[in-house]
Structure 1
Amino acid sequence: MALTDPATEASRTATRPEKGRSLWTDARRRFLRNRAATAALAVLVLIAIFAFGGGFVAQYERDYVDFTLIGINASKGVPSFETGHYFGTDAEGRDLFARTVQGTRLSLLIGIVGSLVAVVVGTLYGAISGYLGGRVDSVMMRIVDILMSIPFMFVLILLLVIFGRSLLMLFIGIGLISWLGMARIARGQTLTIKNKEFVEAAIATGVRPLTIILRHIVPNLLGIVVVYATLLIPEMIIYESFISFLGLGVQEPNTSLGSLISSGASQVLNGGGEPWQLYFPLFFFVATLFAFFFVGDGLRDALDPKDR
């Protein structure tokens, strides 16, 4: 049996090529090592299951009114598995579990759709501005500066008062201003990327500017775009909840977490309600926000090339 020289084996090991790792593979490994981020991701999955699957568990419709409670004391519909009111009832005798399910689902949809639109519009706008440069860049960025100087909440409230309080106007109002921050971030990253060798090679081969932006620049912005989108979702939820808390957002028969919190807080402060009418929607609101913030923070650390 031939013996292997330790020095020869060590040299073979040293010269053996190391298997390469992609950015996303490395980011996934480092994200999974972040306990806070993985726990927050698990919480988000549970909240999504509750929002989109809770309706199959609820024994009552969200607008169901228990007439046995009306005229007696609607707030006495305490949380109980025996009656099927898992979260109790609100001041009007409606099942709070079903309404919390719908409110959580609507708030998540507003946050996800609003941030998706903001990311798509902002990324394309910022990438075009940064790549073209010159006067085009100056004009496009001055437009962003002017829009950012306008009080956002004032414009949103004004739109809802003039054109009616509807879910569509809420999306339009939030979408008017939410893409501005993403546009500035995308433009700054594009100014760095457009001087890279692969972009210069594409220019030398005659590739059109729009194709370069879509195929070479935008894909290299995905890391920061994903992080920004994750942090933008809770911001959208806060905007919607604040507007609904003022009574200008989602209207009956629809509801959101902001509307439920507003209704529960008014009932508790006026002495005509019970604490659970506020605590249940408030719990899902706070849990959703913190989960998105922790996931966004974990993605930011995982995708940071300086920490690789």
Structure 2
Amino acid sequence: MINNEDVTRLQDAVQLSEVRGRSLWQDARVRFFRNKAAVAGLVVLILITCFALFGGFIAQYEPDFVDFTLMGANAYQGVPSVETGHYFGTDIDGRDLFARTVQGTKISLLVGIVGSLVAVIVGTLYGATAGYIGGRTDGIMMRTVDILMSIPFMFVLILMLVIFGRSILMLFIGIGLISWLNMARIARGQTLTIKNKEFVEAAIATGVSPFVIILRHIVPNLLGIVIVYATLLVPEMIIFESFISYLGLGVQEPNTSLGALINAGASQMTNGTLWMLFFPLTFFLITLFAFFFVGDGLRDALDPKDR
């Protein structure tokens, strides 16, 4: 006969086995979705991405962002209005601010994501290689990183834009290839611990080449910290791009970015046209906070000490 006490004990054992049987990624997913701030940030990011991708279909003016026929004093429509179709109003040249905010959000997200992706790929491979090989090679590679980190980042980026031209491509290259230094140091430190694990020693004993070990065994075990760092790096890239565009060295007309729109809006504050600054600045701040909340949630979810 099986009594109620045995049934309860069996249910507890099944639940315990399910908890123990969850992988790191399954456990991280559960922990992430329990973080209300992180989930809210993820929802906001999805909405902002949809706005950047599909907002141009809603804009009634300048769908291609290159129509300058509306420029001039007669085209100036003033305050935001649904009746005129200028949902965010117009800028000082009469261009629809809603359409330009859509394009600015898209370019800022693109610069942030592509820049952080380049930084993460280069930094992870560089740091993992230095940490795994070790010895004199590690010393030379990391001293090179130290020398590069001593050079002012913003000065180098501005110098590249002045020498090679101001374009979105140069922003991608400049921001991405300079911001990988911190990622390289993080990946190298984690690799020093991982390379002494049993599965790495087993791969070495079976004759696997160092390059394959780095790609198949070292880098996959760095994905947790790499994802967290990449999430926190995107808003940093957006801030850099916005600052460069604010100085007038970033995205050039007819294209625009949130930094360029904020710069244009700030210059018109004395005229009482606060909406030119309000809408781009609002999207800029919301995007930054959303990325920070998601990155903080991923950091807590992937931290093995908090499992």
Instruction: Decide: shared fold, TM above 0.5.
Output: yes
Pairwise mapping of residues 2-41 of structure 1 onto structure 2 (< 5 A)?
Answer: 3-6=1-4, 8-9=6-7, 12=10, 18-19=17-18, 20-41=21-42
Q: 1:135 to 1:87 in 2, by over 3 A?
A: same
SS in 1 for 2:41: helix
Q: Against the structure 1 CA distance between its residues 129 and 70, is the aligned structure 2 distance closer, same or farther, given a 3 Å change threshold?
A: same
For 1:284, the equivalent position in structure 2 comes to 283
- Alpha-carbon distance in 1 for matches of 2:58, 2:13: 60
Structure 1 position 82, deviation (Å): 1.0
Identity %: 74
Conserved 8 A contact 1:194-1:217: yes
8 A Cα contact 2:131 2:188, kept in partner? yes
Q: Distance in 2 between matches of 1:202 and 1:7?
A: 48
1:155 maps to what in 2? Answer: 156
- Deviation, structure 1 residue 272: 3.3
Q: Using the alignment, how far apart are the partners of 2:17 and 2:202 within structure 1?
A: 28
| Residue identity in the other structure for 1:183 | A
Which amino acid is the alignment partner of residue 237 of structure 2? M
Please list the CA deviations of residues 108-154 of structure 1 after superposition, one character each: whole Å capped at 9, or x if unmatched: 00000000011011000000000000001000000000000000101
User: 1:135 matched to which residue of 2?
Assistant: 136
Spell out the pairing of 1:1-308 with structure 2 (5 A cutoff): 3-6=1-4, 8-9=6-7, 12=10, 18-19=17-18, 20-61=21-62, 62-64=65-67, 67=70, 70-71=72-73, 74=76, 76-268=77-269, 271-272=270-271, 274-308=273-307
Secondary structure at the aligned position of 2:203 is classed as helix
Q: Name the Cα RMSD after superposition.
A: 1.7
Distance in 2 of aligned mates of 1:79 and 1:106: 23
Q: Helix, strand or coil: the match of 1:18?
A: helix
From the superposition, tell whether residues 66 and 83 of structure 1 become closer, same or farther in structure 2 (CA, over 3 Å): farther
Whether the 8 Å contact between 1:64 and 1:95 is mirrored in structure 2 is no
Contact conserved, 2:117 with 2:176, CA < 8 A, in 1?
A: no
AA paired with 1:280? Answer: F
CA distances 1:15-45 after superposition (whole Å, capped 9, x unpaired): 6571300111111111001000000100000
* TM-superposed deviation, 1:165: 1.3
1:162 is displaced (CA, Å) by 1.9
Q: Partners in 2 of 1:71 and 1:37 — Cα distance? A: 45
Q: How far did residue 11 of structure 1 move? A: 6.0
Residues 75 and 93 of structure 2 are in contact (CA less than 8 Å); yes or no, is this contact kept in structure 1? Answer: no
Equivalent residue letter for 2:280: P
Indicate conservation of the 8 Å contact 1:264/1:273, yes or no.
no
Single out whichever of 162-171 and 143-152 deviates more from structure 2.
Answer: 162-171
How far apart, in 2, do the equivalents of 1:198 and 1:156 lie?
41
Tell me how far apart the structure 2 counterparts of residues 11 and 25 of structure 1 sit (CA, whole Å): 25
For 1:12 and 1:169, locate their aligned partners in 2 and report how far apart those are by CA, in whole Å.
62
Structure 2 letter corresponding to 1:71: A
- Deviation at residue 175 of structure 1 after TM alignment: 2.1
Unaligned ranges ≥5, structure 1:
none
> 1:288: how far off?
0.4
